[in-house]
Amino acid sequence: MRWISEEHSKVGFTWVDARYFDGRSAQRRQVFVSLDVESQRLTIHDHLGADLDIWPLETLRQMRDDAGAGMVLCSGAVDPGEARVILANARAIAAIKASCPNLTKATVTPRTWAKIVAWVGASTAAVALMVFVIVPALAGQLAVFIPPERETRVGSAVLRHIERLLLDKDAGDWRCTNPKGQMALEQMAQALQQGQEFPYAIQVGVVDHAMINAFALPGGHIIVMRGLIDMAETSDQLAAVLAHELGHVAQRDPIEQALRAAGRAGLLSLVLGDATGGAALALAGEALISAKNSRDVEARADDFALAQMRKAGVSPEALAEFFELLLEEMGNSALDLGWISSHPPSAARAAHARAAVQLERDYKKTVSPEQWQAIQQICAE
C-alpha cells in the first residue's frame, strides 16, 4: 500500500487491498482500490492495475457488515444485489468516511423500485380481489348459515349506527311514534305477509327524515323515511314499496349486504388499521341505506312484491305507478337520491308490474282512508 499524503482525509489513497463482488455472480475478486478526493471518485483496479469500475464519491453508500469483515461499500442504493467492495484497512476506511458524507444516506435503486412497485401492485391486486370478488362470494354463502337470532342482533347493532349517522345529518326525531299511524302501518305490513313465514317478527318503523327512501335491515327491520310517505300519492304505492322490501327480507339480502360491507371494512381495517372495528358496522349501515343490488336481486324482490300484493288484494298497478311517480317528480336528479338510487326504476320494471294486473279482479286497500291519513301524519306530534 502507498499513501499519497498523511492528510489522507483530504487527498486520498492508492493501491489499497480490497475484495470485490461484481453483483452478477458470487465470485470474489482480490482488487486494489484508490481514492481521489480531488476528482471525487473511488476507482477499483484489477491485479494488473486496469480499471474495473469507477464510483463517484457522492454515490458511495455503506452497507451493513454482518460478517465483521470491514467496511462494505456499494455505489448507489444499499441493495444486496449490487456490486460491492469490502475494505479492511483502517486508514482507508477513515479516509472514505472523511470524504464521503453520504455514506449512510438511504437511496433506492431502479431495480429496488421495480420490486417495490411489483410488490405494491401485487398486494393491491390481492386486496382488490378479496374486496370485490372473494368477500361478496363468501357473503352470499355465509348469509345462509347465520342463525335468525344472530341476524336479529346484527340488525339491531346496524340500526343503532344508522341512527347516529342520520342524527348527525340533522334528521330530527329518529322515530315517528304517532300510535294511530304506527298501528295502521303495522296492519299494512301484516297484510303483505300473507302465506309467508319469516324466522323473526317484521318490524316496520318510520324515520322523520326528508329523504325519499326505504330499506331493509338484517333481522326483519324495515325502515321507511318520511320523505317517501310524503311522495306516495296512495296507500297502495306505500304498500308496494313495503312489499318490495319484504322481498329483500325473504331473500336475506340485508344480511348478505351487511356481511359484504362488514367484510370489506374488516379487510380494509387490517390493511389500513382500525382497532375498534367500528368501521365495519358503520360501513354496513351506510351500505344498507343505499344498497345497490343486482338486476336479478331487484327482479326477485319485484316478483315477491307482486305475489304478496296479489295475496293481499292490492293492485300491482301501484308498484308501476310508484316507479313512474319517482321518475316524473324527480327527473334526472332522481338517480342521486334515496330509494330511486338504490332501486332504480325503469320502464321495463313498471311494465312488468302493470302486466300482473288482473282486469277482471276487484282490488282492495290494505288500510282504510282514515288509516292512510294516520300514516301520512305519523311524524306529527
Interatomic CA distance for residues 215 and 224, integer angstroms: 7
Asked if 311 and 304 touch (Cβ cutoff 8 Å), the reply is no
The whole-angstrom separation of Cα 363 and Cα 234 is 14
First to last CA, the chain: 100
Is 286 in the active site? no
Helices (H), 251-291: 253-272, 278-289
Taking CA atoms, 10 is separated from 17, 35, 41, 100, 340, in Å, by 20, 10, 13, 11, 78
**Which one, of 254, 232, 257, lies nearest residue 321 by Cα?**
232
Choice among 245, 256, 317, 321 that is catalytic? 245
Q: Tell me if 34 sits within 8 A of 15, measured CB to CB.
A: yes
The rounded distance, in Å, linking the Cα atoms of 296 and 289 is 19
CB-count exposure of residue 358 (10 Å: 0-12, 13-18, 19+): exposed
Residue/partner pairs of 111-119 with CB below 8 Å, 24 or more apart: 111/79, 111/81, 112/77, 112/79
156 class by beta-carbon count within 10 Å (0-12 exposed, 13-18 middle, 19+ buried): middle
Does residue 185 contact residue 310 with C-beta atoms inside 8 Å? no
Backbone dihedral region of 103: left (phi > 0), alpha (psi from -120 to 50 degrees) or beta?
alpha
Give the 3-state secondary structure of residue 54: strand
Contact 55, 42 (CB under 8 A): yes
Beta strands in 27-168 (DSSP E): 29-36, 41-45, 51-56, 60-63, 71-75, 84-87
Q: Are 290 and 316 in contact (CB under 8 A)?
A: no
Catalytic residues: 245
